């Protein structure tokens, strides 16, 4: 209230100050609105003719033109992904009065699924209102005919020709090439909106996703003449077109050439018929992936054409998980397939030598501990040396030397072969797997479990004890064995080709650090033992290698899905099918000059040498030209 | 009919006019301001009819919204300025609490959290459009004018807190307008010109630092706004089409409901943010100058009321409300004519949609209250 009592002089000066500020504000206001008036005079009087002409020639619509997506080829130039013409149903949001009503009526005549309506409404709100939203990606001839009759009932909805991504070999290449799917609202926020104006699909997995930037290209645009009802009229009937700015032609996407061999891919896929699992075959001399299979697979055309919500649910909720890429994302205990690598580690660190022999009685015990670590062969292998331990896959020999190698050396050598970290393959989503170590256990467990126990070292020697690897990693490790330590980064893309100039950018193999072993004789012993796995008199997979016209090497593995308690009988009849052991196999051929390395897993296949090895042989036969249908 | 009525008004003018005047006075309504508002709204409905494609349902819808807004104005006009001033701090605090609540439990719609739903759905940020200038004016009311730097800093905090809360929703457009309404109070209160210039110069390095922290895509967005032709399919499309619409209107326009840009739907958002372009196309320079003149009249009347007001609170508040209205008009018309980047600000009293209409008219109610209660209290 003191303000009311303050001297009158102040009140007067305050009023004067306020008045001067109001005058200032009024002047600023007049200047600002005067600027708008000036602009209006410029637009409506000075440049009126120009804009009048533009609006006359308006009826001009700028329409984005999507680029043609690059093609994908296999290593022998066979098409894996192409573009085929099809009719799609589109809706232009700004031309539709009541989107809900229109969609419901379209659903009533089965042109749209009721379940898809929320997704479509979401899309129609996210983009500019003049940009068409696709309701259905491929209409059948009957649907085109039935919509053509009813078209007057649906202003703003029309069908339009476009190119649909097509994978001629569908399931066969689904996990390698991946697929394109309709742009989602998330994609629209992530991608460059100018380059994707007019584009409806984007790569979602595999090569389609990782080479999206090359495959997609850049949008162009053209100017269209529309009549008074807003519908497009053919541009060549109008002389107005000459006064328009030039159209910009889209830049087509680049073609991508893969290292994949479609024939080999087919042979491998056939071998997996009715099974779950994965296979990776690569060229050990450069890391090129020759085949990449994950079974069961799915038809990527479903994603490219667009499927209903129920179709998608069926795929995504299938217990066999067809959408899951086991080759790069499936991690499994590698089992005995790591024995050759551990043998090298043992020789190099002096944990064993080439003459040491042990007598295998079918089990092994650590000093002062009751627990029996069993061999897969209950009666034992008898006297074995390192060669026999690999060729016959004797577990006891490895149990015995395991604590002398030690978990730290195991971790060290397996890591050099590329296990435990992503290989860096040129498709995304790869899992790193796991090679356990003392530090790893200390930082991932609590209390007493933080310690690394000797017993864990024992089971680690046969690829159990937390150890996990992807089929891709095992293939890469098999390749490193084949080349006696030379390693290349696995990759699937050989070249990217500019669609306009035909200029090819070759992708050079990337050399990785070698696995260095001091004595070449160690390599000879270990690889010789792997040779005898398949072609020696007592090899575990000798039945598979028998009678082959070339020399090969391999190693089987079996990975437990459930752990068996002590003294409990292993009775596989009682086990659910999905709890049977996984069957693994790694191999390479020809023995003296390896050209292919293969790793695979058959989920619940039980026997590495009996179930997995024959698939590896079939793939190697085909690639080396000894297959059934070899020409 | 009409002729005879007019005749009667001229021949028999004394009695009905003074009756009319006394009714307005008793209702605390300012005749000139009411007249200006009615003319703008009437003109607005006329344009809107064409802009919504001659859709009667939408037109009636808008007329009802206008009616509600006028009633709100009428109610607010009855509240004396002293009453408004006494309740300002409480109202402001309540507004802050609601803004915090919005961020915590507000309804999400189109990616932003702006609404509260306690049986009635409302946007607390709307209330703050009046709350912020009122609070600033309340604080400066019984202090020496011009304010000292310390006091300006306190008012700045009162402005910044709700501005930041609203920007977080996110609703950048509204938060900037609210900040502007508070800053206008400080400027009207007589902040020294030297200080204003100093802050303005200090803002330049600030903007440069902000630019260096922006992501590439954000920079790209700003650059597109500044040069729409570089992105004819995206943000630039609206501006290109709106310039064609206005420019092709010429001096006298293409005639009501005859604008090809608007009617063929080349002009996006023709019934909301871009309705000024419909006016420019169909009524030409003559039409837009008429509307701008009406706006100027309303702003001028508001500033006149501010100068006549009896105390600091009323003066500052009336001045801020009038000038904020001017900012709305300027930002929208400058945006539609391509003078400033596209920001989503509707053309006040004309654009379709009603959320901000009530706030706007309540503000005019305050102006009327300030003017009409002036003589009832000792000077």
Q: What is the pLDDT of residues A579-593, one digit of tens each?
A: 788 899 999 989 999
d(CA A234, CA B328): 43
B310 touches chain A (CB under 8 A): no
In chain A, domain spans = 62-237+247-258, 262-624
CA nearest to B378 within chain A: A4
Among B142, B244, B280, the residue with its CB nearest the CB of A54 is: B244
Task: Give the other-Cβ count within 10 Å of B339's Cβ.
Answer: 15
Q: Which residues of A521-536 are buried (b: 16+ CB within 10 A; e: fewer)?
A: ebbebbbebbbbbbbb
B196 touches chain A (CB under 8 A): no
Question: Is A446 strand, coil or helix?
Answer: coil
Check A130 against B146: CB less than 8 A apart. no
Residue B377 has pLDDT above 70, yes or no: no
d(CA A380, CA A394): 8
Mutation target to probe the A interface, by most A beta carbons within 10 A, among B137, B244, B270, B291 is B244
pLDDT digits (tens, 9 = 90+) for B337-356: 988 877 778 899 999 876 78
Among B237, B280, B307, the residue with its CB nearest the CB of A22 is: B307
Task: Give the other-Cβ count within 10 Å of B170's Cβ.
Answer: 13
Q: What is the DSSP letter of A609?
A: I
pLDDT digits (tens, 9 = 90+) for A383-442: 898 888 898 888 889 998 988 898 999 999 999 999 999 999 999 889 999 999 999 999
Check B233 against A221: CB less than 8 A apart. yes
Mean pLDDT of chain B: 85
Are the beta carbons of B332 and B100 closer than 8 angstroms?
no
Phi, psi of A373 (to 5 degrees): -90, 115
Check A33 against B232: CB less than 8 A apart. no
Among A14, A94, A128, the residue with its CB nearest the CB of B145 is: A14
List A226's β-bridge partners, or say none.
A232
Res. B14 pLDDT band, cuts 50 70 90? very low
The token duo for A611 is: 């179930």
Phi, psi of A75 (to 5 degrees): -70, -15
pLDDT at B379: 42
d(CA B250, CA A43): 8
Taking residues A338-358, report their average pLDDT: 89
Check B285 against A14: CB less than 8 A apart. no
Distance from CA of A135 to the nearest CA of B (A): 21
B42 touches chain A (CB under 8 A): no
Residues with Cβ within 8 Å of residue A102, at least 6 apart in sequence:
A91, A96, A154, A156, A157
Give the CATH fold of the A62-237+247-258 domain.
Penicillin-binding protein 2a (Domain 2) (3.90.1310)
Report the Cα B305 to chain-centroid distance in Å.
17
Residue A481 has pLDDT above 90, yes or no: yes
How far from A277 is each of A179, A263, A324, A583, B104, CA to CA, in Å?
20, 19, 10, 9, 48
Are the beta carbons of B268 and A94 closer than 8 angstroms?
yes
Are the beta carbons of A587 and A616 closer than 8 angstroms?
yes
Among B288, B307, B319, the residue with its CB nearest the CB of A40 is: B288
Comparison of pLDDT for A308 and A163, the residue scoring more:
A163
pLDDT at A189: 78
What ipTM was estimated for this complex?
0.89
The H or E element that residue A144 is part of is helix A141-150
Residues of A labelled as active-site residues: 336
A228 touches chain B (CB under 8 A): yes
**Torsion angle defined by CA atoms of residues A566, A569, A572 and A576, in that order, rounded to the nearest 10 degrees:** -60
A59 touches chain B (CB under 8 A): yes
Are the beta carbons of A45 and B250 closer than 8 angstroms?
yes
CATH architecture of A262-624: 3-Layer(aba) Sandwich (3.40)
Distance from CA of A134 to the nearest CA of B (A): 18
Res. A564 pLDDT band, cuts 50 70 90? very low
Res. A472 pLDDT band, cuts 50 70 90? very high
Distance from CA of A52 to the nearest CA of B (A): 4
A31 touches chain B (CB under 8 A): no
Residue A228 has pLDDT above 70, yes or no: no
Q: What is the DSSP letter of B265?
A: T
Taking residues B51-77, report their average pLDDT: 90
Q: Per mean pLDDT, which range of A121-130, A543-552, B8-17, B98-107 is the poorest? A: B8-17
pLDDT digits (tens, 9 = 90+) for A498-550: 988 989 999 999 999 998 888 889 999 999 999 988 888 888 888 888 888 89
Ordered alpha helix ranges (H), A536-612: 542-545
pLDDT digits (tens, 9 = 90+) for B132-157: 999 999 999 988 888 888 999 999 99
Residue A565 has pLDDT above 50, yes or no: no
Partners of residue A54 in chain B, C-beta under 8 Å: 244, 247-248
Are the beta carbons of A168 and A79 closer than 8 angstroms?
yes
CA nearest to A247 within chain B: B232
pLDDT at A186: 80
The H or E element that residue B360 is part of is helix B355-372
Partners of residue A32 in chain B, C-beta under 8 Å: 326, 330, 334
Residue whose C-alpha is closest to residue A624's, from A552, A555, A529? A552
Task: Give the other-Cβ count within 10 Å of B258's Cβ.
Answer: 12
pLDDT at B123: 86
Mutation target to probe the B interface, by most B beta carbons within 10 A, among A20, A29, A218 is A29
pLDDT digits (tens, 9 = 90+) for B181-212: 999 999 999 888 888 888 888 888 877 877 77
Among B250, B260, B296, the residue with its CB nearest the CB of A33 is: B296
Q: Per mean pLDDT, which range of A218-227, A253-262, A393-402, A532-541 is the poorest? A: A218-227
pLDDT digits (tens, 9 = 90+) for A46-73: 999 888 877 766 566 677 888 889 999 9
List B89's β-bridge partners, or say none.
none
* pTM > 0.80: no
Q: What is the DSSP letter of A335?
A: G
The token duo for A287 is: 């890391």
d(CA A542, CA A392): 10
Phi, psi of A291 (to 5 degrees): -150, 145
Distance from CA of B58 to the nearest CA of A (A): 12
């Amino acid at each position: 209230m003191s303000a009311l009592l303050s001297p009158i002089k102040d009140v007067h000066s305050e009023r004067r100050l306020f008045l001067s500020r109001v005058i200032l504000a009024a002047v600023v206001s007049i200047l600002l609105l005067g600027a708008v008036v000036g602009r209006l005079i410029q637009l409506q009087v000075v440049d009126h003719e120009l804009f009048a002409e533009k609006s006359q020639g308006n009826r001009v619509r700028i329409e984005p033109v999507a680029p043609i997506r690059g093609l994908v080829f296999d290593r022998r130039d066979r098409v894996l992904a192409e573009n085929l013409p099809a009719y799609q149903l589109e809706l232009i949001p700004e031309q539709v009065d009541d989107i809900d009503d229109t969609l419901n009526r379209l659903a009533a005549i089965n042109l749209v699924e009721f379940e898809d309506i929320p997704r479509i409404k979401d899309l129609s709100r996210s983009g500019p209102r003049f940009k068409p939203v696709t309701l259905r990606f491929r209409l059948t001839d009957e649907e085109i005919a039935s919509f053509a009759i009813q078209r007057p009932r649906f202003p703003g909805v029309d069908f339009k020709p476009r190119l649909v991504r097509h994978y001629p070999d569908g399931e066969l290449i689904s996990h390698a090439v991946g697929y394109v799917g309709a742009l989602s609202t998330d994609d629209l926020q992530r991608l460059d909106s100018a380059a994707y104006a007019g584009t409806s699909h984007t790569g979602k997995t595999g090569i389609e996703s990782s080479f999206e930037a090359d495959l997609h290209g850049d949008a162009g645009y053209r100017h269209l003449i529309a009549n008074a009802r807003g519908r497009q009229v053919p541009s060549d009937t109008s002389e107005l077109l000459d006064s328009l700015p030039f159209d910009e032609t889209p830049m087509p996407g680049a073609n991508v050439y893969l290292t994949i061999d479609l024939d080999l891919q087919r042979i491998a896929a056939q071998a997996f018929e009715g099974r779950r699992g994965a296979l990776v075959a690569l060229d050990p001399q450069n890391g090129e992936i020759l085949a990449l299979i994950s079974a069961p697979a799915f038809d990527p055309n479903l994603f490219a054409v667009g499927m209903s919500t129920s179709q998608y649910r069926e795929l995504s909720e299938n217990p066999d998980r067809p959408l899951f890429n086991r080759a790069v994302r499936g991690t499994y205990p590698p089992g005995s397939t790591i024995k050759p690598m551990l043998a090298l580690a043992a020789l190099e660190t002096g944990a064993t030598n080439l003459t040491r022999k042990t007598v295998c009685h079918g089990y092994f015990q650590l000093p002062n501990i009751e627990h029996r670590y069993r061999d897969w062969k209950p009666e034992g292998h008898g006297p074995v040396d390192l060669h026999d331990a690999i060729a016959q896959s004797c577990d006891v020999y490895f149990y015995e030397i395991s604590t002398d190698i030690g978990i730290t050396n195991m971790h060290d050598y397996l890591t050099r072969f590329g296990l435990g970290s992503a290989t860096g393959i040129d498709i995304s989503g790869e899992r790193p797997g796991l090679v356990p170590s003392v530090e790893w256990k200390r930082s991932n467990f609590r209390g007493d479990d933080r310690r690394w126990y000797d017993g864990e070292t024992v089971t680690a020697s046969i690829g159990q004890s937390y150890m996990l690897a992807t089929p891709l990693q095992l293939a890469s490790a098999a390749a490193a064995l084949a080349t006696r330590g030379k390693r290349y980064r696995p990759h699937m893309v050989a070249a990217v080709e500019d669609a306009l100039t035909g200029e090819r950018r070759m992708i050079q193999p990337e050399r990785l650090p070698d696995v260095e072993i001091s004595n070449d004789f160690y390599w000879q012993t270990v690889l010789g033992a792997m040779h005898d796995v398949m072609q020696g008199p007592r090899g575990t997979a000798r039945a598979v290698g028998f009678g082959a016209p070339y020399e090969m090497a391999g190693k089987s593995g079996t990975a437990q899905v459930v752990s068996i308690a002590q003294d409990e009988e292993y009775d596989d009849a009682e086990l659910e099918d999905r709890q049977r052991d996984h069957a693994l196999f790694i191999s390479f051929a020809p023995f003296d000059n390896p050209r292919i390395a293969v790793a695979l897993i058959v989920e619940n296949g039980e026997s590495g040498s009996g179930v997995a090895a024959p698939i590896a042989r079939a793939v190697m036969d085909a690639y080396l030209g000894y297959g059934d249908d070899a020409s | 009919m009409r002729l005879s009525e007019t005749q009667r008004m001229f021949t028999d003018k004394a009695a009905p006019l003074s009756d009319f005047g006394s009714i307005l006075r008793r209702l605390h309504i300012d005749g000139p301001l009411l007249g200006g508002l009615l003319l703008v709204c009437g003109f607005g409905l006329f344009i809107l009819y064409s802009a919504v494609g001659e859709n009667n349902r939408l037109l009636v819808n808008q007329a009802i919204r206008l009616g509600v807004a006028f009633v709100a104005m009428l109610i607010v006009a009855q509240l004396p300025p002293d009453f408004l001033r006494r309740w300002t701090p409480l109202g402001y605090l309540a507004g802050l609490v609601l803004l915090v609540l919005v961020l915590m439990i507000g309804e999400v719609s189109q990616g932003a959290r702006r609404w509260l739903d306690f049986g009635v759905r409302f946007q607390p940020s709307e209330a703050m459009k009046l709350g912020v200038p009122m609070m600033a004016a309340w604080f400066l009311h019984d202090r020496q004018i011009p304010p000292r730097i310390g006091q300006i800093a306190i008012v700045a905090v009162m402005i910044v807190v709700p501005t930041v809360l609203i920007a977080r929703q996110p609703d950048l457009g509204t938060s900037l307008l609210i900040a502007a309404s508070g800053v206008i109070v400080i400027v009207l209160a007589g902040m020294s010109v030297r200080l204003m210039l100093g802050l303005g110069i200090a803002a330049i390095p600030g903007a440069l630092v902000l630019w260096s922290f922006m992501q590439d895509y954000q920079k790209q967005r700003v650059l597109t706004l500044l040069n729409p032709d570089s992105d004819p399919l995206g943000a630039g499309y609206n501006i290109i089409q709106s310039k064609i619409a206005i420019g092709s209107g010429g001096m006298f326009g293409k005639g009501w409901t005859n604008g090809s840009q608007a009617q063929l739907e080349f002009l996006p958002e023709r019934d909301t943010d871009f309705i000024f372009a419909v006016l420019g196309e169909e009524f030409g320079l003559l039409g837009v100058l008429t509307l701008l003149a009406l706006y100027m009249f309303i702003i001028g009347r508001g500033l006149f009321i501010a100068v006549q007001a009896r105390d600091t609170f009323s003066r500052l508040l009336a001045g801020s409300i009038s000038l904020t209205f001017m900012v709305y008009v300027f930002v929208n018309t400058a945006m539609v004519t391509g003078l400033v980047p596209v920001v989503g600000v509707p053309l006040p009293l004309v654009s379709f949609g009603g959320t901000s209409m009530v706030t706007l008219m309540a503000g005019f109610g305050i102006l009327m209250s300030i003017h009409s209660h002036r003589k009832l209290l000792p000077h």
